[in-house]
Structure 1
Amino acid sequence: MQTRSSLFRSTAFAALGALLLASCGGGGGGSGGTPTPSPAPTPTPAPTGGLYTPPAAASLSVAEVQQILANAIAEAQARSLPSMIAVTDRVGNVLAVFRMNGARATATTSAAPNGASIDAQNVTFPAEAGAIAKAITGAYLSSGGNAFSTRTASQIVQEHFPPAPTTVGLESGPLFGVQFSQLPCSDFASRFGAAGAAALIGPKRSPLGLAADPGGLPLYKNGVLVGGIGVMGDGDYGSDPNILDIDNDAEELIALAGTRGFEAPASITADKITVDGTSLRFSDATYAGLMTGGGASFASLNGSAGSLIAVTGYANAAVIAGTAYGSEASGVRPSMPSEFSNRDAFVLTNGSGANRFPIRSGTDGASNSAPLTAAEVRALLEEAFGVMSRARAQIRRPLDSRAQVTISIVDTHGEILGIVRSPDAPIFGADVSLQKARTATFFSAAQAGAELSANASADVRQFVPALRSFLNDPSALTGKVAFADRSGGNLSRPYFPDGEVGRPHGPLSRPIAQFNPFSTGLQSALIIGNLGQHLAYVSGASATDTPQRCTTLPDVAPGHNRLQNGIQIFPGSVPIYRGNRLVGGIGVSGDGIDQDDMISFLGAHNGGARTGGIGNAPGELRADRIVVRLQDGATVRLRYISCPFAPFLDTAQQNVCDGL
Structure 2
Amino acid sequence: MRRLWLTVLCAALVSSCGGGGSGSSGANVNGGATSASGAPACDGSCASASSFLSSSDVETVIARAVAEAQARGVKATIAVVDRVGNVLAVFRMSGALENVTMQTSGVSVSALSGGLENIEVIPATMAAIAKAVTGAYLSSEGNAFSTRTASQIIQSHFNPGELLTPGGPLFGVQFSQLPCSDLATRFTPAEGDVGPKRSPLGLAGDPGGFPLYRAGTPVGGVGVVVDSIYGIDRNILDVDNDTDEAVAFAAAGPLAAPEDRRADRITADGKTLRFSDTRPEDLRSRIDSPPAFASLLGATGQLVAVPGYNDALVRAGTAFGQARSGIRADSQDYAGLDAFVLVDAAGQERYRPRAGTDGAAALTAAEVRAILSSALRVANRSRAQIRRPLDTPARVSITVVDSQGEILGLVRTRDAPVFGIDVSVQKARGAAFFSSRTAAERLNALPPAVYLDRVLVRLREESPAQYVTTMRVFLGLPNALADGATAFSARSLGNLARPNYPDGVDGNPLGPLSRAPGQWSPLNTGVQMDLVYNAVIQHVAFVRGLTADTPRNCSGVSGFDRGFAVTGAVRGLANGMQIFPGAVPIYRGDQLIGAIGVSGDGVDQDDMVAFLGVARSGLSGSAPQNAPLNRRSDQLVPSGARLRYVSCPQAPFLDSNEQEPCSGL
Provide the TM-score with structure 2 as the length reference: 0.88
Of 420, 433, 443 in structure 2, the residue corresponding to residue 429 of structure 1 is: 420
Contact 1:8 1:123 in 2 (8 A): no
- Equivalent residue for 2:64? 71
Of the three residues 356, 380, 384, the one matched with 1:362 is 356
Deviation string 1:372-410 (CA, Å, 9 cap, x unpaired) is: 001100010000000000000000000101000000000
CA gap 1:643/1:172 in 2 versus in 1, 3 angstroms: same
Cα contact 1:391–1:647 (8 A) shared by 2? yes
Q: SS where residue 418 of structure 1 aligns?
A: strand
Question: In percent, how many aligned pairs have the same letter?
Answer: 52
Report the Cα distance in structure 1 between the residues aligned to 2:46 and 2:412, rounded to whole angstroms. Answer: 12
CA, structure 1 residues 574+487, in 2 after alignment: closer, same or farther (shift >3 Å)? same
Q: C-alpha separation between the residues in 2 aligned to 1:243 and 1:538?
A: 33
Corresponding position: 1:655 with 2:660:
yes
Structure 1 residue 76: deviation in Å?
Answer: 0.8
1:59-111 deviations in Å (ceiling 9; x for gaps): 00011100000000110111122011000000000000000011000001116
Structure 2: how far apart are the matches of 1:528 and 1:299?
Answer: 40
Q: How does 1:390-401 map to 2 (within 5 A)?
A: 390-401=381-392
**Aligned twin of 1:39:** none
Residue among 559, 565, 574 paired with 2:575? 565
Distance 2:570 2:350 in 1: 17
Q: 1:6 Cα shift? A: 2.2
Matching residue of 1:250: 243
Residue 43 of structure 1 is matched in structure 2 by none
Partner of 2:606: 596
Read off the aligned partner of 2:165 and give its amino acid letter. L
Q: Identify the residue that residue 461 of structure 1 maps to in structure 2.
A: 465
Structure 1 residues 3, 431: CA separation in 2 closer, same or farther (over 3 Å shift)? same
Question: In the alignment, which residue of structure 2 is the partner of 1:349?
Answer: 343
Report if aligned partners of 1:55, 1:224 keep a CA contact under 8 Å in 2: yes
CA deviations 1:134-170 (Å, max 9, x no partner) are: 0000000000000000000000000000112xx1221
Asked if the contact 1:574–1:601 (Cα under 8 Å) also holds between the matched residues in 2, the reply is yes
**Letter matched to residue 189 of structure 2:** A
- Mapped partners of 1:552, 1:266: distance in 2: 44
Structure 1 residues 266 and 52: CA distance shift in structure 2, 3 A:
closer
Partner of 1:500: 505
Partner of 2:641: helix, strand, or coil?
strand
1:160 correspondence with 2:160:
no
Instruction: Give the equivalent residue in structure 2 for 1:171.
Output: 166
Matches within 5 A, 1:66-145: 66-110=59-103, 113=107, 115-124=111-120, 125-145=122-142
Distance in 2 between residues matched to 1:405 and 1:415, nearest whole Å: 20
CA distance in 2: counterparts of 1:332 and 1:539, whole angstroms: 31
- In the other structure, the counterpart of 1:46 is none
Question: Secondary structure of the residue that 1:520 maps to in structure 2?
Answer: coil
How high is the TM-score relative to the length of structure 1?
0.89
1:471 aligns with 2:479: no
- Residue 150 in 1 paired to residue 165 in 2? no
Letter of the structure 2 residue corresponding to residue 216 of structure 1 = G
1:404 counterpart (366, 375, 395): 395
Tell whether 2:66 aligns with 1:56.
Answer: no
Deviations 1:306-359 (A, max 9, x none): 0000000001000000000011110000011x2322351100000222001111
* Cα 1:230–1:381 shift into 2, 3 Å: same
Residue of structure 2 in register with 1:41 after alignment: none
Is 1:581 the counterpart of 2:591? The answer is: yes
1:598 CA displacement:
0.1
Deviation by residue 1:15-74 (Cα, 9 ceiling, x = unmatched) = xxxxxxxxxxxxxxxxxxxxxxxxxxxxxxxxxxxx963623300001110000000011
Residues 370 and 619 in structure 2, CA contact (< 8 A), matched pair in contact too = no
Please list, as runs of the form range in 1=range in 2, the aligned pairs for 1:174-573 lying within 5 A after superposition: 174-195=169-190, 198-294=191-287, 295-296=289-290, 297-336=292-331, 338-342=332-336, 344-365=338-359, 369-457=360-448, 458-478=462-482, 479-542=484-547, 544-552=548-556, 561-573=571-583
Give secondary structure in 2 for the equivalent of 1:371.
coil
Change (3 A) 1:232 1:516: same
Letter in structure 1 aligned against 2:127: G
Cα deviation, residue 251, structure 1: 0.5
How far 1:558 sits from its partner (Å)? 11
| AA of the residue aligned to 1:490 | N
| TM superposition shift of 1:470 | 0.9
Aligned partner letter, 1:146: N
| Contact 1:577–1:614 under 8 Å retained in 2 | yes
Contact kept in structure 1, 2:362 and 2:593, CA below 8 Å: yes
Give unmatched runs, 5+ long, in structure 2: 1-5, 14-42, 449-461, 559-564
Change (3 A) 1:111 1:254: closer
- Deviations 1:272-321 (Å, cap 9, x if unpaired)? 00011100000001110000011212121122310000000001000000
Partners of 2:382 and 2:654 within 8 A in 1: yes
Matching residue of 2:455: none
Task: For residue 471 of structure 1, report the CA deviation from its aligned partner.
Answer: 1.1
Residues 502 and 641 of structure 2 are in contact (CA less than 8 Å); yes or no, is this contact kept in structure 1? Answer: yes
Deviation, structure 1 residue 617:
0.2
The DSSP-based 3-state class of the residue aligned with 1:523 is: helix
Distance in 2 between the 1:430 and 1:415 partners?
Answer: 15
- Greater shift after overlay, 114-123 or 467-476? 114-123
Cα deviations by residue, 1:446-468 (Å, 9 ceiling, x for unpaired): 00111111111152111110111
CA pair 289-379 structure 1, distance change in 2 beyond 3 A: same
Q: Which moved more, 1:297-306 or 1:70-79?
A: 297-306
Counterparts of 2:468 and 2:569, CA distance in 1: 24
2:570 and 2:116 map into 1 onto residues whose CA distance is 25
In the TM superposition, residue 608 of structure 1 has moved relative to its aligned partner by 5.5
Relative distance call for 1:360 and 1:65 in structure 2 (3 A) is same
Would the alpha carbon gap of residues 558 and 378 (structure 1) be closer, same or farther in structure 2, given more than 3 Å must change? farther
Aligned equivalents of 2:253 and 2:132: distance in 1? 15
What is the SS of the residue equivalent to 1:259? helix
Q: Please give the secondary structure, in 1, of the residue aligned with 2:253.
A: coil
- Distance in 2 (CA, whole Å) between partners of 1:546 and 1:522 is 19
Instruction: State how far apart, in whole Å, the 2-side matches of 1:563 and 1:321 are.
Output: 34
Decide whether the 8 Å contact of 1:54 with 1:424 is kept in 2. no
- CA–CA distance in 1 between the matches of 2:185 and 2:568? 21
CA separation of 1:556 and 1:108: change in aligned 2, threshold 3 A: closer
State the secondary structure of the residue aligned to 2:572. Answer: coil
Aligned length: 605
SS of equivalent residue, structure 1 residue 307: strand
**Structure 1 pair 435–8 and aligned structure 2 pair: CA distance change class (3 A):** farther
Q: Secondary structure at the match of 2:573?
A: coil
- In structure 1, what is the Cα distance between the partners aligned to 2:333 and 2:619? 22
Per the TM alignment, residue 551 of structure 1 is displaced from its structure 2 partner at its CA by 0.9
State the Cα RMSD in Å. Answer: 2.1
Whole-angstrom distance in 2 between the partners of 1:552 and 1:153: 28
